Each structure stands twice: as structure tokens, then as C-alpha cells.
Structure 1
Amino acid sequence: MYIINITVNADLPVEKHEKMFVEHTEWFKKHFEAGKFLMLGPYTDTDAHAGVIFAHTDSREELQSILEEDCYYPNFAKYEIREFAPKLISTKLPELAGK
């Protein structure tokens, strides 16, 4: 499983970001519906355009291919990828959506 932190470059013009964000949204919806992205959302403790994705793919190479489909990749955002193995998962996760 992976945690991906995405931070859009601060120097990206607002108009360009707004246009690209529509494409970015379609990208993450596609992979959420396919079951590759398990949980995602924006960071709310910053003014930066940044967020996190929890993902599960068959390999790091598959994840890389998915990230390369994002309109921000590679020049308009920073992608930090961390691999982890969850040991405990709360049954309350569905209740927390949107909170």
C-alpha cells in the first residue's frame, strides 16, 4: 500500500491550476472507481494546493504509471510516495468521509 502526498507548485498561475484541477479530478475519480485509490482528499491545514492519496496497486511500477497519467505530473507538482503496511484499520473509516 502507498501514501502519495501531492503538492502543486506554488508558482503555477491560478487560471492554469483551475483548468488543470478539473483534469486532475477526473484522473483521481477514474482510479478511485477502479479500486486503485482507496482514500484521498485535500490537506485542510495549509493554503497550498496539496493533498494525499492512499493507494493499492499490484506493484510500484503500476503506481508510477498511474501517477504519470496525472496532468500535474511531472512538472507542475511534487509527488512524495511512501510505502507502508497497515496493521490496524478502523471500521469507522466510512463514517469519516467528508469530515
Structure 2
Amino acid sequence: MFVLELTYTAPLDRIDAVLPQHVEWLKEHYDAGTFLASGRKVPRDGGVIVAVGTDRAAVEQIVRTDPFSEAGLVEYTVTEFLATTTAPALDAYRQELPA
């Protein structure tokens, strides 16, 4: 599982101009089952996405296709973790520690 943290590197008016395309990109990845949750940080200086996957390179490629990334408006930090404990609603995403 991955936590994708976006940090805005451009003024909010430039972010807002590309926001509709970013929302469509999010929807594509929700529909594909890759994204589980997302939203703005408070204060509004970026956002966070929780993503599933086992291939870090694939997740990093998805990040590069974000319209915010393509327009040079954000920096991403990608953090991989093992979700060994989850809420019941996320049981399908629970992971085991390697042996």
C-alpha cells in the first residue's frame, strides 16, 4: 500500500485551473481500484492519496500522469507501507509481513 503526498509548488489559482483534470484523473484510478481515499491537506498546501499496489515503479508512473505533475504544479512523496492492521472495511487490503 502507498501514501502519496502532494505538495503544491504553484499558487492556488494555478492549482484551481487544473483541478478539474486532476479530479478526472483521480476518478480513473478509483474506477481501476488503485485509489482508496484522497483529499486536501489542511491547511490547503497539497493533498494525500491512499493507493494500493505491489509495484512501486507502477505507482510512481501513475503519479507522473497526474495533470498537476504534468503541469509542474506539485511535488510528490511516495511512501510504501505494509497495511498489516486494517479496519474491517479494508480487510481485503490487509497485508502480511514478509517471512
Q: State the TM-score, normalizing by the size of structure 2.
A: 0.78
Task: Say which structure, 1 or 2, has more relative contact order (CA 8 Å, 6+ apart).
Answer: 1
Cα deviation digits, residues 47-67 of structure 1 (max 9, x gap): 32x111111124111112211
CA distance in 2, matches of 1:23, 1:61: 23
Q: State the TM-score, normalizing by the size of structure 1.
A: 0.78
Match status 1:77 vs 2:54 = no
The one-letter code of the counterpart of 1:73 is S
Identity %: 26
The 4+ residue runs of structure 1 with deviation greater than 4 A are: none
Give unpaired runs (5+ residues) of structure 1.
Answer: 94-99
Partner of 2:27: 29
- Number of positions where the alignment pairs a residue of Structure 1 with one of Structure 2: 89
**Alignment root-mean-square deviation, CA:** 1.8
